[in-house]
Amino acid sequence: MKYGVIGAGAMGYRYGVMLQENAGVDVDFIDTWEPNVEKVREQGGVSVARDHQNRRLVPINIYYPEEYQGHPDVWIIFKKQMQLEDELKRDAAAGLFHDDQAVFSAMNGMGHFEKIAQYFPAEKIICGTAMIATRLDGPANVDFMGAKGTEQMHIAQYAGKEPTPVTQKVIADFEKASLGPIFAADYLGMCMSKVVFNAVVNTLCTMFEVQMGQFIEYEGVPKMAQQLFNEAYDACERAGIHLIETRQEEIDSVTTISHEYKYHYPSMYQDFSKGRPTEVDYINGYIAKIGRENDYVCRTHEFVTQQVHLAELMRKYH
Ligand SMILES: NC(=O)C1=CN([C@@H]2O[C@H](COP(=O)(O)OP(=O)(O)OC[C@H]3O[C@@H](n4cnc5c(N)ncnc54)[C@H](OP(=O)(O)O)[C@@H]3O)[C@@H](O)[C@H]2O)C=CC1
Ligand SMILES: CC(C)(CO)C(=O)C(=O)O
């Protein structure tokens, strides 16, 4: 199958390069960030390292939406939540989307699949979550975090519980690419399991401006995580959402994943440090919203959401 990656940022490059190199499939990249597209063209590809080692140049095909004439079988979308609406509008206006195409996304937070569903039928939408860490250190410059083979992700149908024939092919390609796909029957429980993880790790690392390996040095992290997970699980249970991991599994994974990706600045920090808005409203803010809708106040998530917004505003004094 042929893939088109929309959003040649950290994760877009990660999926596209691993598919191209390990699964041997055709991949085209679409991006709107000019310094990024121009840098790829100037240096002849994207510069890729793993855990700061073995930096090399990987030749890729990259296009602005308006230039693109190709017709991939599956789009892979990795934009930030705040960018998605405008991106989809621009891509649709450029004539990129066709009735026979499927679309996959493993963005963090919640709200993206509803936006994607304005352009694709529900049965063609493939949902994902990625416990895969990638740094975008500059235009056309990425660092894949974690040793080879540590990549883990989940995949589910937006509509229905069984993988469609296209999803089965996507899973096979992702397996060959070493992205570590696991099928989940319920997309909502799958996505919320990742949202609650990000609501701890991304948010706290961002507020203290640290890498995951530095964050996990503090012995109080499991207790802080437990408090945030308990609130999030209580809100989800009231909303009838059944997460695919238990509370204890989530608490334990904060420790194991933070050690595994010790050099990683979570994607929220990558925005924060570049003076961009963060995805906190789609992560902690989304958990708090589910709580309020179900007569349950997630006090810590509401507070933490405000703290991140305060920190965003205070950047102007630093
Ligand atoms: N990075 C990670 O490890 C992980 C990220 N995710 C999720 O995947 C989604 C995509 O994230 P990610 O790949 O990290 O996003 P990136 O920020 O790396 O890339 C997304 C887009 O942001 C713009 N951009 C990025 N950096 C800059 C910059 N310095 N200046 C101007 N524009 C910039 C570009 O688009 P444009 O020109 O349109 O602005 C780019 O295509 C998010 O939902 C994230 O939460 C999920 C798992 C892991
Ligand atoms: C890699 C991981 C899992 C870290 O929380 C992530 O989702 C991110 O950086 O956004």
99 band by pLDDT with thresholds 50, 70 and 90: very high
Q: Which residues contact 199 (CB under 8 A, 6 or more apart)?
A: 228, 232, 283, 284, 287, 301, 304
Whole-number CA gyration radius for the chain:
19
The residues of the chain that CATH labels 3.40.50.720 are: 3-184
169 band by pLDDT with thresholds 50, 70 and 90: very high
Q: What is the pLDDT of residues 282-317, one digit of tens each?
A: 999 999 999 999 999 999 999 999 999 999 999 999
Share of the chain above pLDDT 70, in %: 100
Indicate which atom in ligand 1 lies nearest the CA of residue 31.
Answer: 41
Q: Per CATH, the architecture of 189-317 is what? A: Orthogonal Bundle (1.10)
DSSP state of 279: S
- This prediction has a pTM of 0.97
Cα 188–20–149 angle (5° rounding)?
65
Indicate which atom in ligand 1 lies nearest the CA of residue 279.
Answer: 45
Q: Which two tokens stand for residue 184?
A: 């989940």
Q: Which two tokens stand for residue 81?
A: 């939540």
Q: Per CATH, the architecture of 3-184 is what? A: 3-Layer(aba) Sandwich (3.40)
Ligand 1 centre distance from Cα of residue 194 (Å): 17
* Number of neighbouring beta carbons within 10 Å of residue 70: 12
* Number of neighbouring beta carbons within 10 Å of residue 50: 16
216 band by pLDDT with thresholds 50, 70 and 90: very high
Ligand 2 centre distance from Cα of residue 17 (Å): 18
Indicate which atom in ligand 2 lies nearest the CA of residue 261.
Answer: 1
Q: Which two tokens stand for residue 137?
A: 């250190």
Residues with CB under 6 A from ligand 1: 7-12, 31-33, 78-81, 83, 107-109, 130, 132-134, 136, 267, 270, 274, 279
Q: What is the pLDDT of residues 112-168, one digit of tens each?
A: 999 999 999 999 999 999 999 999 999 999 999 999 999 999 999 999 999 999 999
The per-residue DSSP string of 164-205 comes to: -HHHHHHHHHHHHTT--EEE-S-HHHHHHHHHHHHHHHHHHH
Indicate which atom in ligand 2 lies nearest the CA of residue 198.
Answer: 5
The residues of the chain that CATH labels 1.10.1040.10 are: 189-317
Q: Which residues contact 99 (CB under 8 A, 6 or more apart)?
A: none
Q: What is the pLDDT of residues 257-276, one digit of tens each?
A: 999 999 999 999 999 999 99
3-state secondary structure of 216: coil
Q: What is the rounded average pLDDT of the residues 214-240? A: 98
pLDDT score recorded for residue 188: 98
Q: Which two tokens stand for residue 46?
A: 């994207």
Cα 52–37–74 angle (5° rounding)?
90
Indicate which atom in ligand 2 lies nearest the CA of residue 205.
Answer: 5
Ligand 2: which of 198, 253, 279 to mutate, judged by most atoms within 8 Å of the beta carbon? 198
Q: What's the CA gap between 316 and 318, in Å, rounded?
A: 6
φ, ψ dihedrals at 18, nearest 5°: -65, -35
Q: Which ligand is nearest to the CA of 212?
A: 2
Q: For atom 1 of ligand 2, which residue has the closest CA?
A: 133
Q: Which two tokens stand for residue 257?
A: 């994943």
Q: Which two tokens stand for residue 19?
A: 């598919």
Q: What sign does the CA torsion over 142, 134, 286, 97 have?
A: positive
Q: Which two tokens stand for residue 171?
A: 């899973």
- ipTM strictly over 0.85? yes
Task: Go through the chain and tell me how many residues it has.
Answer: 318
Q: What is the pLDDT of residues 61-97, one digit of tens each?
A: 999 999 999 999 999 999 999 999 999 999 999 999 9
Ligand 2 centre distance from Cα of residue 202 (Å): 6
Ligand 2: which of 137, 151, 257, 264 to mutate, judged by most atoms within 8 Å of the beta carbon? 264
Residues with CB under 6 A from ligand 2: 108, 131, 133, 198, 201-202, 261, 264, 266-267
